[in-house]
Amino acid sequence: MAIKVPPGQSPPFETIDDKHHAGIIIITAAICLLISLVSLLIRVYVRKFLSPPWGSDDIILLGATITAVAESIIIFHSSSIGFGTDISLVAEKSVNHIQNVLIHYLMIHQIRYKEDTDGHSPSLLPTYSIY
């Protein structure tokens, strides 16, 4: 079903129906990115003008914001090539490309604390799980 656009108007950025959900994904990612960036800007303003000493929590927030920006870029790119569209409407090559983009993201960013085998303090070990 094609969308009929009146003369002089642009078609919608993304179609949202039973088989197209990329618009919802993009809007959600954009809102989350905006909240993350506003939080960082508020923190920078507070630390610069109201409470000058920078702490480790500021560095953690900066790292989280950088991760949020990278994740949003990946989501926007994946949505532009078919992420959020029903699999029956996406070409096989695009499905493989989307899966590769998302799996690479998971492999890079899925690092969690794990106990050493001898029971010592936790260390950062990458865990790659696709399931």
Q: Which among 29, 37, 114, 36 has a CA at the least distance from the CA of 74? A: 29
pLDDT at 2: 63
6 inside domain: no
pLDDT at 30: 96
One-letter amino acid for residue 17 of the chain: D
74 inside domain: yes
Q: How far is residue 43's CA from residue 55's CA, in Å, rounded to a whole number?
A: 11
Other residues' Cβ atoms within 10 Å of the Cβ of residue 86: 12
Q: What is the DSSP string of 58-123?
A: HHHHHHHHHHHHHHHHHHHHHHHTTTTB-GGGS-HHHHHHHHHHHHHHHHHH-EEEE--TTS-S-E
pLDDT at 10: 83
The residues of the chain scoring below 50 in pLDDT are 111-118, 120-131
Residue 93's Cβ-count burial label (10 Å; 0-12, 13-18, 19+) is exposed
12 inside domain: no
3 inside domain: no
Structural domain of 75: 22-111+122-126
31 inside domain: yes
Number of domains the chain contains: 1
Instruction: Answer whether 0.85 is exceeded by the pTM.
Output: no
Q: How far is residue 73's CA from residue 79's CA, in Å, rounded to a whole number?
A: 10
pLDDT at 93: 84
14 inside domain: no
pLDDT at 130: 46
